[in-house]
Amino acid sequence: MSDIARKSATGHLAGAAASHLSPHNTGVALGAVIGGWHLLWAIVAAAGWGQPLLDFVFWMHFMKPGFVIDSFSLVRAVVLIAVTAAGGYGFGYMGTAIWNRLRSE
């Protein structure tokens, strides 16, 4: 039985899991969240709801919008999603690698 399985059986999984994280898995999770968020934005923009949503967000923050949402482009949407997902993966991977390094000392 592995150390984590043994610890999880005794109810100490949180401590065991926090001691070492997988950089790849964390990168995939963060990349999926950030890429997914931007996929949602691309859908909103494609539906024509981008400007009203932006106007509302600025309004509820007591701000006047200074940005205008451009027309939707599928190529630009794919680039947006790919770049943000890759950036999320990179930040998740690096952050976890640093975390693991600091926890091992």
User: Is 70 exceeded by the pLDDT of residue 7?
Assistant: no
Express each pLDDT in 16-53 by its tens digit. Answer: 556 789 999 999 999 999 999 999 999 999 999 999 99
How far apart (Å, rounded) are the C-alpha atoms in residues 27 and 31?
6
pLDDT of 19 reads 76
Amino acid 2: pLDDT: 54
pLDDT at 4 over 90: no
Predicted pLDDT of residue 101:
93
The C-alpha atoms of residue 61 and residue 49 are separated, in whole angstroms, by: 19
pLDDT tops 80 at residue 3: no
Q: How far is CA 18 from CA 8, 21, 26, 92, in A?
A: 12, 7, 12, 15
Compute how many other C-beta atoms are within 10 angstroms of the C-beta atom of residue 73: 13
pTM: 0.78
Domain chopping of the chain, boundaries = 22-104
